[in-house]
């Protein structure tokens, strides 16, 4: 667990009244939410009871992590957690949420189990998704209000969403791809240059490294459409390595060459600007170290 604040009780009182006093800078609703989510520990035991009696000498702690570390997760690493959000790194091959093929082992299901380990009523809400074969950073909300705030103000609240893509061939210069995307019944996304022929998608890319066979690109999304990067890399005749669906003939990585590298956002509750970055997978770099 990550410890945030700790106090020793000096006078007999009830728990919620005490929390209001020691956390006076927070709103009463915020304090109640901390208690309800199981973040309050009294003398080493989690409690959610507002009227628990406190005696002099009792130790009260607030933990940022709301669930115990006894919940094991596969393909998920938590890199930040607070009252409203969980930011994770997802490994390639793990679904964000359930599909017809995979009902249980998803990032969403594992995080739901994680927060319910403290309180069965706790829930997780999907803010955005990554393709199954894309690794990197994702944000999940702990309540519906935070989810909707982020989703409804995505363009304003998320000023940076950067990926790293390993693509086939030598990309000679930086560029931008603009097209309109549509999805057919077989879940294939198509790109059109005809204005308003689908959802407008804008992708900026910068060459980080290249050789005769491959290029490593930093890709920044101005819009966040399904399969956007994969389709746009196909559009410029440099498909993402391992992306057979969109034209790749090379599977030397054994996975898709796409990684959600960084995300910056305005925290929907505190208003603080936050930024998280994930290392470029080592397997991407081996291509240039030979």
pLDDT score for 193: 95
Fold of 3-63: 3.10.290
Residue in 58, 82, 84, 131 annotated catalytic: 131
Closest Cα to residue 205, out of 215, 191, 217, 223? Answer: 217
Q: What mean pLDDT is predicted for residues 152-161?
A: 92
Q: Do domains 65-152 and 161-260 have the same CATH topology?
A: yes
- The pTM score is 0.77
Is 211 in contact with 287 (CB distance < 8 Å)?
yes
Contact 247, 232 (CB under 8 A): no
- pLDDT tens by residue, 93-112: 999 998 666 666 899 999 99
| Summary mean pLDDT of the chain | 90
How far from chain centre, in Å, is Cα 169? 30
89: tokens are 């790194």
Pull the structure tokens for residue 162: 């950067």
**Which of 141, 230, 232 has the alpha carbon at shortest distance from 179?**
232
CATH of domain 65-152: 3.30.2350.10
* 8 A C-beta contact, residue 13 and residue 54: yes
Domain boundaries, the chain: 3-63, 65-152, 161-260
Distance in angstroms (rounded) separating the CA atoms of residues 139 and 170: 33
User: According to the CATH classification, is domain 161-260 in 3.30.2350.10?
Assistant: yes
Nearest to 280, CA basis, from 92, 76, 110: 92
Per DSSP bridges, beta strands 273-277 and 258-266 are antiparallel
Q: Is 131 a catalytic residue?
A: yes
Q: What is the pLDDT of residues 270-283, one digit of tens each?
A: 888 999 999 999 99
């Amino acid at each position: 667990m990550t410890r945030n604040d700790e106090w020793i009780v000096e006078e007999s009182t009830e728990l919620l009244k005490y929390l209001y006093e020691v956390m006076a800078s927070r709103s009463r609703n915020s304090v109640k939410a901390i208690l309800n989510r199981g973040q309050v520990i009294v003398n080493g035991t989690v409690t959610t009871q507002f009227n628990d009696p406190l005696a002099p000498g009792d130790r009260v702690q607030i933990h940022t992590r709301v669930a115990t570390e006894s919940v094991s997760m596969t393909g998920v690493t938590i890199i930040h957690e607070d009252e409203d959000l969980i930011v994770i790194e997802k490994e390639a091959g793990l679904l964000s949420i359930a599909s017809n093929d995979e009902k249980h082992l998803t990032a969403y299901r594992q995080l739901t189990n994680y927060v319910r380990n403290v309180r069965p009523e706790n829930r997780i809400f999907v803010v955005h998704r990554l393709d199954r074969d894309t690794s990197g950073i994702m944000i999940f909300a702990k309540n519906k209000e935070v989810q909707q705030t982020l989703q409804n103000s995505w363009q304003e609240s998320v000023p940076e969403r950067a990926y790293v893509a390993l693509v086939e061939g030598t990309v000679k210069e930086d560029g931008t791809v603009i097209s309109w995307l549509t999805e057919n019944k077989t879940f294939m996304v198509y790109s059109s240059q005809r204005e308003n022929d689908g959802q407008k998608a804008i992708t900026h890319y910068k060459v980080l490294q290249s050789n005769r066979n491959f290029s490593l690109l930093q890709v920044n999304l101005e819009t966040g459409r399904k399969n956007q990067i994969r389709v746009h890399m196909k559009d410029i005749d440099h498909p993402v390595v391992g992306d057979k669906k969109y034209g790749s003939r090379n599977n030397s990585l054994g996975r898709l060459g796409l990684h959600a590298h960084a995300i910056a956002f305005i925290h929907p509750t505190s208003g603080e600007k936050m930024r998280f970055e994930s290392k470029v997978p080592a397997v991407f770099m081996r291509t240039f170290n030979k």
